[in-house]
Amino acid sequence: MPVKVLAVDDEDDVRRLIQIKLKKAGFEVVTAANGEEGVERCKADKPDVVIMDWMMPKMDGPTATAKIKAECDPAPIVLMLTAKGAEGDVIQGLLGGADDYIVKPFAPRELIARVNVALVKAGKQPVMGA
């Protein structure tokens, strides 16, 4: 069964880039356009990994991350992917439940590597096509 990733970002181009690059690497990818939709998609689709933006309408990334960690069973790995790169933001994101933190702009190969490292740390199989 392929590793399922949920990409949550309000920017269409970013969601599309994540989807294309991760699918090409062998992941199954579903998307959501805001934090509220991301929480609902997480409950319905049960992804292994969530890639979460911070600044979004309806519900921001830290709030959505906390809800996902509390309400999705099993709780997925969450990687925060955001333009907020100040030290305080990184600390807030990690202490708020993100398993890793990546600052935009990002390299797609690094994102794939970080997803795979997080999978290994969680005792799951990485995606070998990555």
pLDDT above 70 (res 130): no
The one-letter amino acid at 64: A
Residue 57 burial (CB < 10 Å; 0-12/13-18/19+)? exposed
Model confidence pTM above 0.75: yes
Backbone phi, psi, residue 49, to 5°: -135, 140
User: Which pLDDT value is given to residue 1?
Assistant: 75
- b/e map of 9-39 (b: 16 or more CB within 10 Å)? bbeeebbebbbebbeebebbbbbbbbbbbbb
Q: What is the pLDDT of residues 25-71, one digit of tens each?
A: 999 999 999 999 999 999 999 999 999 999 999 999 999 999 999 99
Of 51, 45, 65, 40, whose CA–CA distance to 10 is shortest? Answer: 51
Domains contained in the chain, CATH given: 4-121 (3.40.50.2300)
Provide the mean pLDDT of the chain.
Answer: 95
DSSP H helical segments within 1-130, as ranges?
12-25, 35-45, 61-71, 87-95, 108-121
User: Which pLDDT value is given to residue 129?
Assistant: 66
